[in-house]
Amino acid sequence: MRQVERMVRGEAMEEGAGVRIARLVGTSRLQMLDPFLMLDHFDSADAADYLAGFPDHPHRGFETVTYMIEGRMRHADNKGHAGVIETGGVQWMRAGRGIVHSEMPEQQEGRMRGFQLWVNLPARLKMTPPGYQEFPASRMGRETRAGGTEVIVIAGRTSGGTAGPVAAPHVDALYLDIVLQPGGRFEEPVPDTHSAMLVVYEGSVAIGDGDAIDAIAVAALGAGDRVAAVAGEAGARCLLIAGRPIGEPVAWGGPFVMNTRAEVMQAFADYQSGRF
């Protein structure tokens, strides 16, 4: 059974044009968990915290995954693609060789809550064409387990055979949203070849043989081939995110993630020259 190797709480910061977020992965406390580069959580019912949004900005060399738990976010890019991610929906975007896009709230009031995950790409895929996998809540895989535990499957396949709509074979990604009743238990095999983390964002959860972890926090999990979690007396909601490490050098320069510093500098030059 996997145990908690490191527990990290979100680091408050502002991104985009002033959107308040909590960064869980991608800080000095947890720099990355190969193949996952960054994980941000946004959650506010105060429109002043999110209305400024994320105006046009570039990316190259990785994928961004936006999961909207509540609210609506409009996205558009310089390739002519646009759409709205609504409550329960996901956008899995491959920046590939380069894209300039914006992510702007499609609401003036109400709660906006969700996560954005950055997933690295191996060298052989970093300069592939940009692309999207976008799915509404109705397309997610869903299963109900003993004790009323609900599992929403975004990517990968559970041991019960429920598959999510997103395919990420380059890292064999598993992305689950788990709803636990008070005292409810969740258990799932995860290959020992994969990195794994459990993100507690409602209530509290005891992982493996460890003490309870209160929201909001990310638990990077150690070696093993199964993940087990038990909710506290108020129930819980958490994400299980796992993937096969890429194991390549990471050169990171702001919105560009490549394998060498020279490639990052080339990305800046290409962007500034309008070649995205």
Which residue in this structure is represented by tokens 């970093």?
A: 126
User: What is the chain written as a DSSP string?
Assistant: ---EEEEEEPEEEEETTTEEEEEEESSSSS--BTTEEEEEEEEES-GGGTTT-EEEEEEBSEEEEEEEEES-EEEEETTS-EEEE-TT-EEEEE-TT-EEEEEEES-SSS-EEEEEEEEE--GGGTTSPPEEEEE-GGGSEEEE-GGG-EEEEEESB-TTS-B-SB--TTTT-EEEEEEE-TT-EEEEE--TTSEEEEEEEEEEEEETTS-EEESSEEEEE-S-SEEEEEEEEEEEEEEEEEE----S--EEETTEEESSHHHHHHHHHHHHTT--
Taking the CA atoms of residue 231, residue 234, residue 235 and residue 240 in that order, the dihedral angle to the nearest 10 degrees is -70
CB atoms inside a 10 Å sphere around CB 106 = 14
Tens of pLDDT, residue by residue, the chain (276 residues): 999 999 999 999 998 888 999 999 999 999 999 999 999 999 999 999 999 999 999 999 999 999 999 999 999 999 999 999 999 999 999 999 999 999 999 998 999 999 999 999 999 999 999 999 999 999 999 999 999 999 999 999 999 999 999 999 999 999 999 999 999 999 999 999 999 999 999 999 999 998 999 999 999 999 999 999 999 999 999 999 999 999 999 999 999 999 999 999 999 999 999 999
Q: What domains are there in the chain, each with its CATH number? A: 4-272 (2.60.120.10)
pTM here?
A: 0.96
